Amino acid sequence: FHVDRDGPFVVSSVSVTNDYILIAGQYTDVHVIAAPGIASPVAEYSGSVPVIGQRPKSRPTEHYQAHYMDGQVYNVVCQGNIGYVAAGQGGLHLVEVLPEVRRIRQEPTKDRVMDVELRNEYLYVAEGTEGLKIWRTGSPGELSYVGRYRVEGEFIRQVIVPEPGQYALVMVGSYSFHIVDLLDPQNPVCVFKEHGHGFLTGDNIADGLISRRYVG
């Protein structure tokens, strides 16, 4: 079986034996890595609670840089060398991505930040029960609050703003899809609603439009 592309490839399973690590490559078969004195099978439960140390805030390597923040990272969008990070329970983070990854600040939020979208000079933040918040970006790392689209009692978890930026495609709760007019960003207005018959369990809205007019 020939894979007509360069790696890295997907790892679908890992197993550990004495002195060896076995890795199942989804496209590249089984890899055997020698790890004498390091690799050993998972021990049976000893009866005592394992101690997990504090997670490091940074982990530089020769291949990449990493910066850790409270919460799960769902999405990041960049404006120049500034990244806006949807960090779940960790809120909205602003990080400098070049020349090194460095947190600028954490923007206070009342609920989980599930998604971010950047279009023109506006940053759109899906903030759960607090709705879709709209910020204006200024000089690097500066934000000013503009407006909000909120659905009472519902949770906004995804936002897509296709070019040229007049409408936002928003996932609302577990069943609903809204199109929101952003012409007046201080007072965004819903112009279309669609209620599904099944669960929207993830980021189900396709990124961008098909043929400049269709939403997937």
Residue 32 has pLDDT above 90, yes or no: yes
Q: How far is CA 189 from CA 55, 59, 133, in A?
A: 42, 43, 13
pLDDT at 3: 57
Three-class DSSP labels, 135-199: EEECCCCCEEEEEEECCCCCCEEEEECCCCCCEEEEEECCCEEEEEECCCCCCCEEEEEEECCCC
pTM of the complete model beyond 0.85? no
CA–CA separation, 71 vs 33, rounded Å?
32
For the stretch 49-103, pLDDT in tens is 878 887 666 666 777 777 777 788 999 999 988 999 999 999 999 999 888 888 8
Average pLDDT over residues 105-113: 91
The mean of the pLDDT values for the chain is 88
pLDDT tens column, 131-180: 999 999 988 778 999 999 999 999 999 999 999 999 999 999 888 999 99
Question: Tokens in use for 28?
Answer: 């590249």
Distance of CA 188 to the CA centre of its chain: 24
Give the residue with greater pLDDT, 7 vs 28: 28
Specify the pLDDT at position 78: 92
103 CB-side CA count, 13 A: 16
Residue 1: its pLDDT value, please?
A: 45
Query: Between these two residues, 106 and 6, which has the higher pLDDT value?
Result: 106
